[in-house]
Structure 1
Amino acid sequence: MPPKKQSHQVTMALPAGEAPVAELGKMLGMTGVNLVALKKEYDSLTAAQRGEIVPAVITVFDDRSFALKLKTPPTSFLIKQALNGDKTLSRERLRAIAERKLPDLNTTDIEAAMRTVAGTARSMGVQVS
């Protein structure tokens, strides 16, 4: 059997465990993919992360099947979540965010990941202590 040919690839940031069909339809309706099946798979894979934004790379093939690859939540979302009303991000929280983001970053060094997260925090007006 010949390999499937990719027809579309879309990255979407969706709420975990409750992907809106309307949002999926806007981006993928023209591909003919089964949106309900896609929603069910995304929701089941992200159910444990409810309340977070979980980006997904959705690859649609020309036979209308799809593949779903999940990413880690956006750094800015994780920083806002860690701040919880504060204006300062502690080293411990910074390290925790960097460890969580490490699979999606282009480094394997935790210190480099921490610098990346700290840069995002500073651009958001958050102090890093």
Structure 2
Amino acid sequence: MAKQVTAFVKLQCPGGQATPAPPVGPALGAHGVNIGMFVKQFNDKTGGPDTKGMMLPVVITVYSDRSFEFKIKSPPAAVLLKLAAKIPHAKKAGGDVIPADSKKGGKYKGFTVTQDQVNDIAKKKQADLNARDLEHAARIIAGTARSMGLTIVA
């Protein structure tokens, strides 16, 4: 007999660094899932140098017998664009890392990405985007870059 799906849980966890603390613990604990097992499996799959520490969306399918399986999606386009544009992380309490005039209203003016970088990001994200081909995926990523205030250069 096939397992019956009881829930889909969508989370964003840092690659290789997930812990049973919120948001993972409460979200999975409410469905009776073994949190420690999920954390161990997730960290094992995402502990590589290219994903470690990067926020990764994950969709967890919970079954009626409290077993689960999960699918790791590609990182958000905005995160990949920030890495490509070499935008430094802003400090939460203290001095500004980003120049005062470059970040205004959530925009990153003054930073640029190349069309090749946009195409590379589109290749990574194509499976998770609603795009018919690579060119369309690149246009979606370029739109995200423009909405962030990034300039796309040839």
TM-score (norm. length: structure 1): 0.94
- How many residue pairs match? The answer is 128
> Between the two proteins, what is the percent identity of the paired residues?
39
Which structure exhibits the higher relative contact order, with contacts defined as CA atoms closer than 8 Å and separated by 6 or more residues? 1
Selected match of 1:101 from 125, 130, 133: 125
Q: Secondary structure at the match of 2:46?
A: helix
- CA deviations 1:93-113 (Å, max 9, x no partner) are 111111111111122411101
- CA deviations 1:13-65 (Å, max 9, x no partner) are 11000112112112111111100000011111111110211111001111000
Structure 2 unmatched runs, 5+ = 88-109
Corresponding position of 1:51 = 53
Structure 1 unmatched runs, 5+ = none
Alignment of 1:81-96 (within 5 A): 81-85=83-87, 87-96=111-120
| Larger CA Rg, structure 1 vs 2 | 2
- 1:30 is aligned to 2:30: yes
Structure 1 segments, 4+ long, off by >3 Å, are none
Root mean square deviation, CA, Å: 1.1
TM-score (norm. length: structure 2): 0.79
